Chains A and B, each alone.
Chain A
Amino acid sequence: MAGLTQLLNVARDALTAQSYALNVTGQNISNASTPGYVRRVAQLETQNLGTQSGGGVVAAGLKRVTNDYIERREYQATGMSSAASSRDQTLASLEALFNDGGGTGLGAALSGVFASFSALASNPNDTTTRANVLSAASAFAERANQTGNTISQMQMDLKQKAQDTVDQVNQRAQEIAKLDLQIAQATMQGDDASDLKDQRTQKILNMSGLINTHTFTDGKGNTVVQVAGTTIVDGQHAGSLSLDLNADGSLKLLADQSGGGGSEITQFLTGGTLGGIKEARDKDIFDVSKQLNQFVFDVATAINTQHAAGVGADGSTGRNLFDVGPSTTAARDLQVSVDVFDHPDRIAAASNVFSLPGGSDNAVALSKIFDVPIASGGTRTASQAYGDLVGSVGSTRASAQRDVDTHKAILQQVTAMHQSESGVSLDEEMVNLTKFQSSYQAASKMIGVADQLMQTLLGTVGR
């Protein structure tokens, strides 16, 4: 009897274990497309019956199939890819400002100024021709203003976007710390906490898309999350970051100190959306803005110098055509000078009062400015300098696009490695499903057989 009872017990345990395994398989199948889900494997073990052999099966629990090394690589690759994409998106907007294909860009406006000087030399005493100089100068100033203002606006928008990103990082840090606490509590209660661990991994992955993130487990078994080289989550404690501006307007990232204030960690910011914003805003856009302002300043100053040397139809001299701000903000500040605005007669086409009103020497000298190196420290003509600027913007964007492709490929590879290790294979799960189903059916059969044997035995004994 003891043997038959044991058989029934073994069959019962098998039913329980296979049912558990089927449940795990079902869980895997239903979460096959859930982001961050890590496949589970039911841990079936032989039931220990002490020194006796022939024990049944028992479900000892389940195992999350993870690989810390691959996870860390995925965080890193996500950060780099996210940074490259963020930078590229920003530069796409910047590039559009310098796409002169439609003939409506700054280069075309500058050509309009040249054409107006050339036409002025042909007919210096014509009011319409003089008004056209003002109109062309105004168009150039407006285009420079639009370009300069758009770039400034982009920098302001990116500052806000950076702030939003820092807020998200802080939010994620809080969430990760909270999950750590929940995981610790669940583990203490004997739960496996796999779902919570999945959520924590997903949060960290999400964080790595925002800022370069590194994780490790400390000696106490706590998960430590570091961003931009500083610890932001240490077990159940979450720190925070804050954003400020340097004197030159560049972004300054600070790790908040518990006693107030913060230590600067900007130099360690290398990845994530925030890293991409930082590079695009404080390097790429800053460089282009500097180049643009210097170009506008050089051109406008050269025109002013020549214009001031000439004489207007009203006999006035020493007047600038443009009001130019400092070389750092020339594009935004450029305006047609109030001295000549609405006064076509003050356009200095002649070189001296004696040649009025038909003198055109200064108009020719103004148009000749476009043939001489006046920009980039007197080494490039206006059109060469503008071509350099367009080329520079194009090169920067092209470089960003290549970075996107490179980092996407790396991320794709690492994600594939992660999926291969931790992802759900429906094929595999279907095989498991069949396997555990068959085992369950076999266990049921065992109960049937044990029952038949029991009936047979009882029938024989009762006779």
Chain B
Amino acid sequence: MRVTEQMRYDGVSTNLSQLSTRQAKAALEAQTGLHVNLPSDDPIAASELARLSASQSQITARRGSINAVRGDAELAESSLQQASDLLATAKDLAMQGANGDLGADERSSLALQVKDLHDHLVAVGNTKGTAGYLFGGSATDAQPFDTTGTFTGNDESHVVDIGNSTPTSVGASGAKAFTVAGGRDVFGDLDALYTALSTNDQAGVAATLGHLDSSRAQITNAQAAVGMTINKLDASDSILGALDLQASKRTEEVGSADPAKAYANLTQLNNALQQSISVSKTVLDLAAFKQF
């Protein structure tokens, strides 16, 4: 085969170009630490990376939701604890009022304390979180209890998407905690105690004891439900965290370059390129006419 100068130049040019392209790609891989810098680098991996990215975004958003509602759930739990404590105090007052040795003035004094408890409980029922009033159901923009303790909210639950197959209810039900929807009308029971104490009705006071226990149990149940919600949120957050970790690991496996391999590859190609340049020079210097 005749070998012409143009063939030598073309060969050198093509070989150097191909080697430079491979070297540039290896350098990019080593610099970015990524095996997939463009979808065409590995289409199957690129497709999986797009899905993993979407999945991680969803996980981040859901964990954000958990974080957002968890604060309100904790506030609801502590508010219900306060409500429970108030009812415990009310029961103490009722037990004192049920004592036959007490006179009308003393019961009247106790009635005033019950009135304070009532007002305090209304304030607890109207606790406001980041998403509005905690115990008003979906009526989050208005106080769910008026000064008399009358409930103006609803029992619609606040649901969020935390990755479960069905929406997760995260709100504390004010209706079930404080109103007859939960079995006892808590404010009604306090009102009954207040009335009995105000009217010096010892038997009436004694009759409220059982109701106050039931009311307190109702609030405790609501508190427990909120506690379970918090546990559920924590569990979901933990699962989502694990999934996020798994997705990150998979993203690393699919999309990242092995640093040692990338560096070794780059070094090898750098050497090959240097050698090729050196050989090319020799090949181009070989021309016989230079010897004439």
Q: Which residue numbers of A lie inside 8 Å of B, CB to CB?
A: 32-33, 95-96, 98-101, 103, 107-108, 110-112, 114-115, 117-119, 121-126, 350, 354-361, 363-365, 367-368, 370, 382-384, 386-388, 390-395, 397-398, 401, 408, 412, 415-416, 419-421, 423-431, 434
Contacts and interface: CB of A to CB of B under 8 A. Distances in A.
A125 B141 CA distance: 8
B55 A383 contact: yes
B68 to A, nearest CB: 4
A387 B50 contact: yes
A391 B7 contact: no
Sorted nearest first, the 9 A-B pairs with minimum C-beta distance are A394-B39, A391-B47, A394-B43, A111-B57, A383-B54, A358-B140, A423-B4, A397-B40, A115-B61
Interface residues of B, number: 58
Contacts of A117: 161
Nearest to A116: B61
A430 B132 CA distance: 95
Contacts of B68: 119, 122-123
Interface of B: 1-7, 10-11, 14, 34, 36-44, 46-51, 53-55, 57-58, 60-62, 64-65, 68-69, 130-132, 136-141, 154, 156, 158-161, 167, 287-289, 292
Contact of B156 (A110, A118, A358, A370): A358
B288 A427 contact: yes
Given A125-B132, A394-B42, A357 B55 contact: no
B19 to A, nearest CB: 13
Contacts of A367: 61, 161
A63 to B, nearest CB: 15
A390 B160 CA distance: 31
Contacts of A99: 38-39
B141 A358 contact: yes
B288 A384 contact: no
A412 B4 CA distance: 14
A383 B3 contact: no
A60 to B, nearest CB: 23
Contact of B50 (A100, A357, A427): A100
A426 B131 contact: no
A416 B10 contact: yes
8 contacts: A33-B6, A100-B49, A358-B131, A358-B139, A384-B51, A387-B48, A425-B2, A430-B289
A387 B65 contact: no
Given A119-B64, A119-B65, A424 B160 contact: no
B159 A118 contact: no
A27 to B, nearest CB: 15
A119 B6 CA distance: 66
A344 to B, nearest CB: 15
B62 A118 contact: yes
Contacts of B34: 101
A350 B138 contact: yes
Contacts of A33: 5-6
Given A121-B160, A364-B160, A358 B137 contact: yes
A424 B9 CA distance: 12
Nearest to A405: B18
Given A101-B34, A122-B160, A426-B5, A115 B132 contact: no
Contacts of B41: 394, 398
A184 B60 CA distance: 77
A59 B49 CA distance: 72
Given A383-B54, A390-B50, A425 B131 contact: no
A430 B36 CA distance: 52
A424 B288 contact: no
A32 B7 CA distance: 11
B161 A419 contact: no
Nearest to A366: B161
B108 to A, nearest CB: 41
A419 B5 CA distance: 9
B236 to A, nearest CB: 13
A126 B131 contact: yes
Given A124-B131, A360-B160, A383-B55, A391 B139 contact: no
A420 B7 contact: yes
Contacts of B139: 356-358
Contact of A121 (B7, B57, B159): B159
A357 B65 contact: no
A387 B51 contact: yes
A289 to B, nearest CB: 16
A365 B136 CA distance: 22
Given A101-B37, A358-B139, 11 more contacts: A108-B53, A110-B54, A118-B65, A121-B159, A121-B167, A359-B156, A387-B50, A394-B40, A395-B43, A420-B7, A430-B289
A85 B146 CA distance: 77
B161 A356 contact: no
B34 to A, nearest CB: 7
Q: Of residues A118, A364, A397, which shows the largest number of chain B Cβ atoms within 10 Å of its Cβ?
A: A118
A423 B2 contact: yes
A119 B61 contact: yes
A37 to B, nearest CB: 9
A394 B38 contact: yes
Q: Which of A360, A416, A427 has the most CB of B within 10 A?
A: A360
Contacts of B292: 430, 434
Contacts of B57: 108, 111-112, 114-115
Contact of B159 (A360, A383, A434): A360
Contacts of B54: 107, 110-111, 114, 370, 382-383, 386-387
For B11, B68, B137, the residue with the greatest tally of chain A CB atoms inside 10 Å of its CB is B68
A288 B73 CA distance: 47
A365 to B, nearest CB: 8
Given A423-B6, A424-B4, A427-B289, A398 B159 contact: no
Contacts of A114: 54, 57-58, 61
Nearest to B286: A427
